């Protein structure tokens, strides 16, 4: 079928007993169509676009930091004068001062996680794809959906504005440990907290909406065990956001009070700042912040990874042309991961002097949670076995995800054991560990998703050749960036040092500390240039993305010949999504069913067409 | 409790509310009485007693006013997990804050 | 386009969308207050012996507020039940009560805040502590040496622009209604026999005797900090809930004519939120006022 923007009548229009619909009946103008839209697909694209912009910005901050690490105190080429012009003193002479380095570090983490990956993986893909996959006309609460995006947007604005206030943006890391976060003399932290409260609000509204949608709006016949696994992953993610974020919101409010109303929730008695006793009542507990933060912080990493895994499963099933291996194991694993992710948080705090009983508990839960993660990865790998694999750009990224996530996950295990973690904590090993999961892991999966669903959004494919260039270059440079960090970390190089460890490496105390060898320092240069190349490797992607919207190869509604409902709609799907309410007759991955007319059987194809096929599950 | 179910009768609700309010009065009064009573053991025992009475009060509101006693399975499922994580959050944090190696100076 | 189950229950879950939505939202609220209550417990348990205040809040006002909220929870339920039996007039009456009760609650709460705000602990240079409610302060105009009396505390000094010139004022003395104690500990447990015996009277303290003067605001100690934060967040919830109920009672009640069933659902959902807010108070009251 040729891709035309056909306006099918949304399927419930005639039968509507409660005839008011606050949107969509009048001619939509620019504002109601793109800014105040309640259509889940538009909101998904809004999220996606914003998130990609933020990720680009976060990447830029990282480049500045990597320059500073590799060449401490040397003015940044090209961007240095610009930084000085915009930010003034902290970027004097175009070089990055330690304070600015701290700001960039804190904001890089915050932006990448809360304004980049979560909005893209959860909000953008979830919004666009989930209602389509379950056969719903929209989200359960379209206006709350819009409010969620607006809260996200405002939160982003607050975060960005904080760069320009006196003293600059937050400097206490994305983890914002107290008392540091309260004693640094800048209001950046206040902006950070207000921004976070907005972002948390956005996530909560989104989570409520997703869960209600998945529970309530599944099309007839779409039973739980017929849900595409992507939907399961988003479902669990939404629950994690719903229940893990509020304690951080509580902590954020308390820290806000510490910063604005000068309370001492997280400030201990006798706190001295700059050699002077702070004018505080004291009596608070810095560790309490860490507990509340990591109660979100650990589940948050699953928020980063689960939607990505969902995308990978969809892409793999589609491109191996066979049912995903172990659908049920996948479902139970993701439920179990979601549950356990609430009970492992203190493995980030082994060095806070915790006792052995509690440390043992958290080591045990950490080891337990890695089991379902491994099951998920194993199912993905086994799905490749015996498939007639179609290699295209989405599949390349999905395949790239597998070893990258494998490395990231396996290097997490030593961190989960206190004995090793005492040594590795706060070194570059940690940086390497979680970037392997999030950068070449999650972000590769997100790229796979973009290449995969682009034809649904636009009716055109992205350019295949440049997609492959994008993949192979990204794959190579990602590894050159992050692999050396394992080495640096094992050698003892600490994270969050604005001079990249120079001072530390010079501080050779005979018979006590063995300083960092020069080779470790030299790796900083390698990483810098690999990161620059990684940035350049994204240019083909950016051009490809925009170019293909109007010039890509035109394709039909179901170019990948996929089974799930998102591909059984007109392209792009109109407001209301389906021409007729879909009736789901089978499981999500009926590829190459023996005896079937084609090598894929859509979930909503009438049952008699495939009467010879055994029913799924 | 939506439309499809049996129609309600306002009178029975008013009766229910009267009962609830009387119980709230009693529980509140007994909390205050406990608070001022002289029962030894310092505050620990009192706090426990008062919170126990508060739980009764809360049960009333949740169970009857919010109809939690006759809610749907889906709501229970959501709430069960919430309660588990709530207990995990409080309990494990408390545990962690009380388990330090011997000799650790706190505060 | 019509979204399914906005009004009718979905057969397999037995719920309409908004009902599930509000329960999910309340689940997240449970975790929010869970974090805050955890903070409360840890701060309290971690406080050194004798450092956690008792009896700082007015139990009478707290009790009145408890009963007000309980009553409003009841009128909320009856408002919904009235909708169910299609008695719009009764609905209007019951929710009018809810709104009035809520506003009274907020009024009492702000009175309590004000009371803490004008309550000062004044550390004197001789090591004693004067403690009581602020009445007035005398400031001296630095240029004209004229004295002015202020009825709110304006810090150690302040300046004022009058007729194009800036006048600087310096604190001369403070008058409070309270008492003087030897040690800080005497201020902590106001339920104790000694504290009850204390005689409160008008005291005027010269500025030169004052070492530090601080009101019982959030920064005073961890108790006031958590008191203001918890009750403040709770009051915000009350405020938000009142706004919603007011909307449904006033302009939003137009829906009654077009779609009473959906309107009844809205009343139910907002009522669930309101009951939750009451539930939080049920724990706040004993935790802050009674123990
Ligand atoms: C599957 C097994 C995994 C295990 C056993 C594990 C274990 C750990 C441990 C123990 C730490 C704390 C190290 C320290 O600070 O000393 C850590 C840090 C981290 N992990 Fe993992 N992890 C796993 C998977 C993941 C995944 C899937 C993600 C993200 C998608 C992730 C993201 C992170 C992040 C962001 C940090 C660093 C937080 C910070 O300190 O800034 N991890 N991991
Ligand atoms: Cu973790």
Q: What's the confidence (pLDDT) of residue A15?
A: 36
Q: Could you read off the pLDDT of C20-52 as tens digits, one per residue?
A: 999 999 999 999 999 999 999 999 998 888 889
Q: Are residues C174 and C57 located together in one domain of the fold?
A: no
H or E element in which residue C281 lies: helix C260-284
Q: Choose the residue to mutate in A302, A437, A439, A446 for probing ligand 1, maximizing ligand atoms within 8 Å of C-beta.
A: A437
Q: What's the confidence (pLDDT) of residue A555?
A: 94
Residue A434: nearest ligand to its CA?
Answer: 1
Mean pLDDT, chain A, rounded, equals 91
Q: Are residues C83 and C211 located together in one domain of the fold?
A: no
Mean pLDDT, chain C, rounded, equals 94
Q: Decide if A382 contacts A325 (C-beta within 8 A).
A: yes
Tell me which of C161, C194, C215 is where a domain ends: C215
Residue C178 backbone phi and psi in degrees, to 5:
180, -145
- Helices vs strands, H then E, count in chain A: 20, 4
Share above pLDDT 90 across residues of chain A, in percent, rounded to a whole number: 80
Q: Choose the residue to mutate in A359, A415, A440 for probing ligand 1, maximizing ligand atoms within 8 Å of C-beta.
A: A415
Q: Is C28 on the interface with A (CB under 8 A)?
A: yes
From the list C4, C18, C221, the residue facing A217 with the nearest CB is C4
Tell me which of C164, C197, C215 is where a domain ends: C215
Instruction: Give me ligand 2 centre to Cα A298, in Å.
Output: 4
Tell me which of C158, C191, C215 is where a domain ends: C215
Q: Quote the DSSP letter at residue A169.
A: B
Say how many C-beta atoms besides its own lie within 10 A of residue C203's C-beta: 17
Q: Are residues C209 and C124 located together in one domain of the fold?
A: yes
Residue C13 counted as domain residue: no
pLDDT tens, per residue, chain C with 291 residues: 789 999 999 999 999 999 999 999 999 999 999 999 999 999 999 888 888 999 999 999 999 999 999 999 999 999 999 999 999 999 999 999 999 999 999 999 999 999 999 999 999 999 999 999 999 999 999 888 999 999 989 999 999 888 888 889 999 999 999 999 999 888 999 988 888 888 999 999 999 999 999 999 999 999 999 999 999 999 999 999 999 999 999 999 999 999 999 999 999 999 999 999 999 999 999 999 998
Residue C2 counted as domain residue: no
Q: Are residues C123 and C202 located together in one domain of the fold?
A: yes
- CATH of residue C52's domain is 1.20.120.80
Q: Are residues C112 and C226 located together in one domain of the fold?
A: yes
Give the pLDDT mean for A296-317.
Answer: 97
Q: Quote the DSSP letter at residue A349.
A: -
Q: What ipTM is given for this predicted complex?
A: 0.95
Terminal Cα-to-Cα distance of chain C (whole angstroms): 55
Name the pTM for this structure. 0.93
Residue A254 to residue C229, Cβ atoms within 8 A: yes
Q: Are residues C51 and C110 located together in one domain of the fold?
A: yes
Distance CA C178, CA C131 (A): 6
- Structural domain harbouring C108: 22-117+221-289
Q: Are residues C108 and C240 located together in one domain of the fold?
A: yes
Tokens of A347: 């493995």
Q: Are residues C227 and C208 located together in one domain of the fold?
A: no
Residue among A158, A180, A44 nearest A110 (CA): A158
For residue B100, the distance in angstroms to the closest alpha carbon of chain C comes to: 13
Q: Could you read off the pLDDT of A543-599 as tens digits, one per residue?
A: 999 999 999 999 999 999 999 999 999 989 998 899 888 999 999 999 999 888 889
Q: Decide if C80 contacts C264 (C-beta within 8 A).
A: yes
Q: What's the confidence (pLDDT) of residue A17?
A: 39
Residue C281 counted as domain residue: yes
Q: Decide if C211 contacts C124 (C-beta within 8 A).
A: yes
Tokens of A100: 């600015």
Q: What's the confidence (pLDDT) of residue A509?
A: 64
Q: Are residues C206 and C128 located together in one domain of the fold?
A: yes
Best mutation target, B77, B78, B93, to test chain A (most A CBs within 10 A): B93
**DSSP SS3 for B28:** helix
For the CA of A442, the nearest atom of ligand 1: 30
Whether the CB of A409 sits within 6 Å of ligand 1: yes
pLDDT bucket at A514, cuts 50 / 70 / 90: low
Q: Decide if A181 contacts A189 (C-beta within 8 A).
A: yes
Q: What's the confidence (pLDDT) of residue A510?
A: 64
Q: Are residues C88 and C31 located together in one domain of the fold?
A: yes
Asked if pLDDT for residue B107 goes beyond 60, the answer is: no
Length of chain C: 291
Q: Are residues C29 and C111 located together in one domain of the fold?
A: yes
Asked if pLDDT for residue A22 goes beyond 70, the answer is: no
Cα–Cα distances (Å) from A40 to A144, A238, A575, in that order, read: 11, 16, 9
Task: Provide the b/e sequence for B61-97 (b: ≥16 CB within 10 Å).
Answer: bbebbbbbeebbebbeebbebbeebbeebbebbeebb
Cα–Cα distances (Å) from A454 to A33, A120, A546, A548, in that order, read: 20, 14, 11, 9
Q: What's the confidence (pLDDT) of residue B5?
A: 52
Q: What's the confidence (pLDDT) of residue A386?
A: 87
Q: How many domains does chain C have?
A: 2
Residue C68 counted as domain residue: yes
Q: Whose CA is nearest to atom 33 of ligand 1?
A: A434
Residue C14 counted as domain residue: no
Dihedral of CA C122/C128/C132/C138: which sign?
negative
Residue C267 counted as domain residue: yes
Domains present along chain A, CATH in parentheses: 2-8+37-267+285-567 (1.20.210.10)
Give Rg (Cα) of chain C.
25
Q: Could you read off the pLDDT of B57-78 as tens digits, one per residue?
A: 999 899 999 999 989 999 999 9
Whether the CB of A412 sits within 6 Å of ligand 1: yes
pLDDT bucket at A29, cuts 50 / 70 / 90: confident
Residue C5 counted as domain residue: no
Alpha-carbon torsion, ordered A8, A13, A15, A20, to 10 deg: 170
Q: Are residues C228 and C203 located together in one domain of the fold?
A: no
Residue C80 counted as domain residue: yes
For the CA of A304, the nearest atom of ligand 1: 30
What are the sequence ranges of the domains in chain B?
10-66, 71-97
Nearest CA in chain C to A9: C1
Asked if pLDDT for residue A135 goes beyond 90, the answer is: yes
Which chain C residues are closer than 8 Å to A21 by Cβ?
1-2
Distance CA A413, CA A419 (A): 12
Tokens of A150: 């607006």
For the CA of A424, the nearest atom of ligand 1: 16
Distance CA A519, CA A521 (A): 5
């Amino acid at each position: 079928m040729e891709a035309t923007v056909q306006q099918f009548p949304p399927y419930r229009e005639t039968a509507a007993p409660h005839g008011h619909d606050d949107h969509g009946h009048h001619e939509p103008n620019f504002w109601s169509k793109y800014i105040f839209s309640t259509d889940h697909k538009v909101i998904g694209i809004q999220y996606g676009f914003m998130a990609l912009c933020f990720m680009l910005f976060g990447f830029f901050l990282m480049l500045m930091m990597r320059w500073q690490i590799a060449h401490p105190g040397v003015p940044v080429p090209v961007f240095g004068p610009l930084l000085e012009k915009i930010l003034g003193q902290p970027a004097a002479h175009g070089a990055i001062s330690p304070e600015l380095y701290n700001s960039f570090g804190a904001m890089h983490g915050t932006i990448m996680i809360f304004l980049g990956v979560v909005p893209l993986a959860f909000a953008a893909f979830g919004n666009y794809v989930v209602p389509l996959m379950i056969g719903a006309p929209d989200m359960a609460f379209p206006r709350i959906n819009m409010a969620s995006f607006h809260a996200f947007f405002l939160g982003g604005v607050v975060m960005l504005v904080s760069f320009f206030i006196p003293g600059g943006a937050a400097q206490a890391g994305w983890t914002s440990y107290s008392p540091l976060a309260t004693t640094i003399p800048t209001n950046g932290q206040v902006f950070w907290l207000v921004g976070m409260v907005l972002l948390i609000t956005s996530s909560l509204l989104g989570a409520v909406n997703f869960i209600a949608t998945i529970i309530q709006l599944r099309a007839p016949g779409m039973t739980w065990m017929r849900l595409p696994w992507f939907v399961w992953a988003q479902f669990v993610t939404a629950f994690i956001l719903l229940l893990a974020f509020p304690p951080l919101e509580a902590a954020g409010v308390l820290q806000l009070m510490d910063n604005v109303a000068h309370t001492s929730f997280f400030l201990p008695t006798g706190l001295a700042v700059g050699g002077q006793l702070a004018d505080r009542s004291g009596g608070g507990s810095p560790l309490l912040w860490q507990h509340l933060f990591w109660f979100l912080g650990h589940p948050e990493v699953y928020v980063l990874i689960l939607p990505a895994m969902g995308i990978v499963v969809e892409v793999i099933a589609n491109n191996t042309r066979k049912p995903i291996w172990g659908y049920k194991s996948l479902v139970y694993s993701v439920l179990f991961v979601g549950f356990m992710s609430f009970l492992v948080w203190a493995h980030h705090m082994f060095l806070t002097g915790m006792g052995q009983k509690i440390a043992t508990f958290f080591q045990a839960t950490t080891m337990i949670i890695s089991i379902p993660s491994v099951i998920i990865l194993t199912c993905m790998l086994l799905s490749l076995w015996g498939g007639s694999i179609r290699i295209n750009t989405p599949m390349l990224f999905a395949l790239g995800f597998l070893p990258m996530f494998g490395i990231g996950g396996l290097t997490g295990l030593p961190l989960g054991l206190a004995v090793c973690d005492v040594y590795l904590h706060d070194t570059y090993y940690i940086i390497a560990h979680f970037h392997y999961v999030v950068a070449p892991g999650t972000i590769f999966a997100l790229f796979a998703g973009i290449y995969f669903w682009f034809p649904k959004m636009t009716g055109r494919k992205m350019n295949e050749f440049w997609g492959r260039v994008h993949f192979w270059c990204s794959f190579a440079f990602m590894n050159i960036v992050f692999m050396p960090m394992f080495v640096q970390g094992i050698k003892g190089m600490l994270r969050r040092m604005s001079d990249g460890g120079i001072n530390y490496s010079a501080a050779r105390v005979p018979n006590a500390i063995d300083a960092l060898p020069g080779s470790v320092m030299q790796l900083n240069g390698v990483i810098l240039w690999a990161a620059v190349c990684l940035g350049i490797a994204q240019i083909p992607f950016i051009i490809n993305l925009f170019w293909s919207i109007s010039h890509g190869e035109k394709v039909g509604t179901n170019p990948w010949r996929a089974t799930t409902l998102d591909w059984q709609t007109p392209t792009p799907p109109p407001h209301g999504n389906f021409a007729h309410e879909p009736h789901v007759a089978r499981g999500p991955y009926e590829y190459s069913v023996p005896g079937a007319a084609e090598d894929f059987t859509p979930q909503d194809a009438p049952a008699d067409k495939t009467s010879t096929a055994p029913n799924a599950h | 409790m939506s439309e499809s179910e049996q129609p309600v009768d306002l009178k029975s609700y008013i009766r229910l509310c009267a009962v609830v309010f009387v119980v709230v009065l009693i529980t509140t009064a007994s909390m205050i009485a406990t608070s001022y009573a002289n029962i030894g053991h310092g505050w620990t025992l009192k706090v426990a007693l008062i919170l126990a009475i508060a739980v009764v009060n809360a049960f009333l509101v949740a169970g009857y006013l919010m109809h939690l006693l006759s809610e749907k399975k889906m709501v229970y499922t959501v709430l069960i997990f919430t309660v588990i994580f709530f207990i995990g959050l409080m309990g494990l944090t408390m545990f962690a804050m009380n388990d330090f190696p011997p000799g650790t100076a706190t505060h | 386009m019509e979204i399914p189950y906005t009004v009718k229950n979905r057969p397999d879950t037995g719920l309409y969308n908004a009902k599930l939505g509000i329960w999910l939202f309340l689940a997240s609220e449970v975790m929010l207050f869970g974090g805050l209550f955890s903070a409360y417990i840890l701060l309290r348990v971690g406080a050194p012996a004798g450092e956690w205040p008792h009896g700082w809040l007015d139990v009478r006002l707290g009790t009145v507020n408890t009963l007000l909220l309980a009553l409003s929870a009841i009128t909320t339920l009856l408002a919904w039940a009235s909708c169910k039996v299609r008695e719009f007039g009764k609905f209007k009456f019951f929710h009018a009560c809810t709104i009035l009760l809520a506003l009274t609650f907020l009024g009492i709460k702000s009175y309590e805040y004000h009371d803490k705000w004008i309550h000062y602990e004044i550390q004197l240079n001789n090591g004693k502590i004067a403690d009581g409610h602020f009445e007035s302060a005398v400031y001296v105009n630095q240029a004209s040496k004229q004295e002015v009396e202020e009825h709110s505390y304006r810090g150690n000094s302040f300046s004022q622009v009058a007729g194009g010139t800036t006048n600087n004022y310096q604190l001369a003395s403070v008058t409070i209604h309270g008492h003087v104690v030897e040690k800080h500990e005497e201020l902590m447990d106001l339920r104790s026999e000694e504290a009850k015996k204390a005689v409160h009277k008008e005291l005027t303290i010269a500025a030169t005797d004052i070492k530090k003067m601080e009101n019982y605001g959030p920064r005073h100690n961890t108790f006031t900090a958590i008191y203001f934060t918890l009750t403040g967040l709770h009051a915000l919830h009350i405020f938000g809930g009142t706004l919603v109920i007011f909307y449904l009672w006033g302009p939003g009640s137009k829906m009654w004519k077009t779609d009473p069933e959906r309107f009844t659902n809205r009343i139910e959902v907002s009522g669930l939120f309101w009951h939750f807010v009451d539930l939080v108070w049920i724990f706040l009251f004993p935790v802050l006022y009674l123990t």
